Structure formats: structure tokens, C-alpha cells
């Protein structure tokens, strides 16, 4: 019989281990998602070890590694018969958030990771040095992804899923009572435009986007049967010649891509395009004004600092509000989307 020595107390607490080796923790989560482990355990709680190996097509050693990781991270629990998803994972399935989890894993694995090796360098340089890790010479990661059909698919699956969740907050908390024609600046695959037009039958939305994304957005608008009220227009959001005739300009998950001086340029273009009394609306995840949280805003920021545009972050409420006032907006109002799983908020202001 093997003699087992008593364990000394852990020198490094689990939380610190998870942070120090966090990359590995993510890779276990990713493997569990991509191999279908969590799906299997949700379908068949209590699946025995050998059955998991057979269903996932894993040999003995890889199966040991995977189960070691996901149980140690408490994503999965061992029972007398086999394995079950931990409650936190199960809750994501029953709460209808599993598609979002899968989309976030795809985004982190294929879009974020390559550029994040340059995070420290990007902080030093106050610029998105990590963009160099993506093929092409497009000015932003979005321009570069749009040249690669596979990555474009991964990114907009994530962005569309994320925005579909966020759109529920916009519909619930956003005030569109005085909006008839909305301009959605960098509106992506039109998920947000479709949601707003769907919820407000008198409203028309124009999405402004880069060429390859325009094709994607037009297809989605057509599938939603909203072609008469949602238009998708090709253009550069920094060019300043925004389409005319809108009473509301909307920036959704847009301003966090840029440094503050570029944000003022974008907000300034929105201001010029609006009539007196016209409104601007920002929907984004927000940091607190003291920059001490929340964790989601912190952990989502490195991608914008190191990769996305010219260097950005999930700014605080106050950061956006200051810029709005500087370009001439007034009656600035903030609304927290309180039941959001992300720290989403809405800021509106009037010209």
C-alpha cells in the first residue's frame, strides 16, 4: 500500500493560483466547451468517466488532464456515479446564457489571445501594439478580421450574441420616446438596430459600418424582414459625413475602442449631424468613476488597450460624460442596467 504523507497547508491560496496560471484555467474552460463536456453533463448529469471519454473521443491521459482541470476549477463535480456540471455552470444553461458563454470562449480564444501578449508593451507605449499580431494592414482589428472569413464569423458570432443580450437592456432602459430616426455609429451586424426597430414600430435605424460588415448586416436585416426600416450604409465613422436626417445618434460598444481625443472626434461628428434638441445615446459596459471595478470592466479592457483600435478601455461613466459636455452636449443622464450580467449602462445627452 502507498503511504500518504499529511498535506502541508497551501502556501499559495487557490485564488492567487487561478490568477497566476489564469491562462491555463481559461484553456480548460475552452477545452470543456469545445469538446462538448459541459453540454454532455447538462444532457446526462452523472455520466461516468469512461462514458465521458468515449463521448468526447479522448484517450486515457487527455481525459485525466481534462477532468483534473475542470474539477479543480470547480466547473465540474465528481459524484458517486460520475460527473455533473457545477451549479454555476448549470445555471448558465438554465438561464439561457450558454450560447453567450460559447461565443465569449470563441472570441477570447481566437480573437483576443494572439494580441494580448503585447499588453504590457501597449501600456508602456500608450497604444495598441498588439494589433501587429493580426495579418493585414487594416487600421483596426475589425478591418483586419473582415479580411478573414473564419475570424469574421467567430467575431460577429460573439459580438451579435453579446449585443443580443445587451439589446434587452437597451430596450428595457433606453428612452426612445422622442426618437424617430436613429443613426447607429459602427452598428456591427445590425443586432442592436434590429432589436430597436423590432421594439419600436415607428422608428427607423441607419447602421454605419465598414464594407465587409455592411454585407453581413444587410443579410441579417433582410432575414429579420426589416429592410423597410433598417438601412445599412457603408462609411468611415471618423470621416464626419454622417448620413443626414437623424434625431438620435447611438454609439453601442463603440467608444471603448478609442483614446479620449478620438472619442471627442466621434461625439463631435454626432453632435454636428444632429438638429437642436437631438439626442445622443451611449450603451456600454462601464467602469466605476474611481476605476476600482467592476471586475468584468477591468478584464474586458486589455483587448481595447492592446488590440482593437488605437488604444481604449472600458472608461468610467464620468469619462464619457466629460467628453459629451466638451463637444457641446447638455442634460447628460446616466442609467444603470441593473439586472445585466455585465456592467452595462446608458448615457444620454441632448444637443
Ligand X SMILES: C[S@@+](CC[C@H](N)C(=O)[O-])C[C@H]1O[C@@H](n2cnc3c(N)ncnc32)[C@H](O)[C@@H]1O
User: Closest separation between CB of residue 202 and ligand X, Å?
Assistant: 22
- Which residue lies nearer to ligand X by CB, 35 or 266? 266
Q: Min. distance of Cβ 112 from ligand X in angstroms? A: 12
Tell the smallest beta-carbon distance from residue 186 to ligand X (Å): 3
Residue the block writes with cell 500500500 = 1
Nearer to ligand X, 39 or 310 (CB): 310
Burial 330-349 (b: 16+ CB within 10 A, else e): eebeebebeebebbbbbbbb
* Nearest to ligand X of 184, 204 (CB atom): 184
Considering the complex, state which of residue 75 and residue 103 has its C-beta at the smaller distance from ligand X. Answer: 103
* Residue closer to ligand X, measured from CB, 58 or 166: 166
Q: How far is CA 240 from the centre of its chain?
A: 26
Q: How far is the CB of 222 from ligand X (least distance, A)?
A: 18
Closest distance between ligand X and the C-beta of residue 213, in Å? 5
Residues that bind ligand X (CB under 6 A): 140, 142, 159, 163, 186-188, 191-192, 209-210, 213, 236-238, 252-254
Least Cα distance to 164 among 148, 186, 188, 184 occurs for 188
Q: Which residues pair with 251 in a beta bridge?
A: 282
In the complex with ligand X, which residue's Cβ is closer, 196 or 274?
Answer: 196
Q: Nearest CA to 74 among 84, 63, 64?
A: 84
Q: Which residues contact 11 (CB under 8 A, 6 or more apart)?
A: none
Decide whether 48 or 136 has the Cβ nearer to ligand X. Answer: 136
CB of 190 to ligand X, least distance (A): 8
The CB-of-133 to ligand X minimum distance in angstroms stands at 18
Question: 56 or 164: whose CB is closer to ligand X?
Answer: 164
Considering only CA atoms, give the Rg of the chain: 23
Residue 259, C-alpha cell as written in the block: 483614446
Distance CA 312, CA 219 (A): 30
Answer whether the bond into residue 294 is a cis peptide, omega within 30°: yes
Q: How far is the CB of 140 from ligand X (least distance, A)?
A: 5
DSSP H helical segments within the chain, as ranges?
Answer: 14-20, 22-34, 37-43, 49-56, 60-72, 87-94, 98-106, 113-116, 119-125, 141-145, 149-173, 191-199, 211-224, 260-273, 295-306, 317-326
Amino acid at each position: 500500500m502507498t503511504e500518504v504523507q499529511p498535506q502541508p497547508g497551501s502556501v499559495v491560496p487557490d485564488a492567487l493560483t487561478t490568477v497566476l496560471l489564469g491562462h491555463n484555467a481559461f484553456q480548460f474552460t475552452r477545452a470543456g466547451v469545445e469538446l462538448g463536456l459541459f453540454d454532455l453533463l447538462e444532457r446526462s448529469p452523472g455520466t461516468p468517466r469512461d462514458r465521458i471519454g468515449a463521448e468526447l473521443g479522448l484517450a486515457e491521459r487527455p481525459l485525466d488532464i481534462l477532468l483534473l482541470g475542470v474539477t479543480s476549477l470547480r466547473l465540474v463535480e465528481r459524484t458517486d456515479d460520475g460527473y455533473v456540471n457545477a451549479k454555476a455552470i448549470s445555471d448558465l444553461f438554465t438561464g439561457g446564457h450558454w450560447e453567450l458563454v460559447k461565443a465569449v470562449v470563441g472570441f477570447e480564444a481566437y480573437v483576443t489571445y494572439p494580441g494580448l501578449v503585447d499588453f504590457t508593451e501597449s501600456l508602456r507605449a500608450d497604444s495598441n501594439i498588439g494589433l501587429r499580431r493580426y495579418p493585414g494592414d487594416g487600421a483596426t482589428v475589425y478591418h483586419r478580421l473582415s479580411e478573414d472569413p473564419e475570424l469574421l464569423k467567430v467575431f460577429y458570432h460573439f459580438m451579435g450574441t453579446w449585443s443580443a443580450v445587451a439589446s434587452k437592456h437597451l430596450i428595457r432602459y433606453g428612452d426612445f420616446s422622442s426618437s424617430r430616426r436613429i443613426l447607429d455609429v459602427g452598428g456591427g451586424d445590425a443586432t442592436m438596430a434590429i432589436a430597436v426597430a423590432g421594439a419600436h414600430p415607428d422608428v427607423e435605424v441607419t447602421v454605419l459600418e465598414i464594407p465587409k460588415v455592411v454585407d453581413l448586416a444587410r443579410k441579417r436585416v433582410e432575414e429579420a424582414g426589416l429592410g423597410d426600416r433598417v438601412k445599412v450604409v457603408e462609411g468611415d465613422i471618423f470621416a464626419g459625413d454622417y448620413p443626414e436626417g437623424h434625431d438620435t445618434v447611438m454609439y453601442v460598444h463603440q467608444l471603448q475602442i478609442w483614446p479620449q481625443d478620438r472619442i471627442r472626434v466621434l461625439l463631435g461628428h454626432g453632435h454636428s449631424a444632429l438638429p437642436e434638441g437631438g439626442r445622443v445615446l451611449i450603451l456600454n459596459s462601464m467602469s466605476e468613476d474611481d476605476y476600482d471595478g467592476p471586475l468584468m470592466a477591468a478584464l474586458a479592457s486589455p483587448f481595447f488597450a492592446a488590440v482593437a483600435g488605437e488604444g481604449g478601455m472600458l472608461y468610467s461613466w464620468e469619462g464619457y460624460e466629460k467628453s459629451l459636455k466638451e463637444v457641446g452636449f447638455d442634460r447628460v443622464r446616466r442609467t444603470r442596467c441593473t439586472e445585466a450580467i455585465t456592467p452595462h449602462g446608458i448615457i444620454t445627452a441632448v444637443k
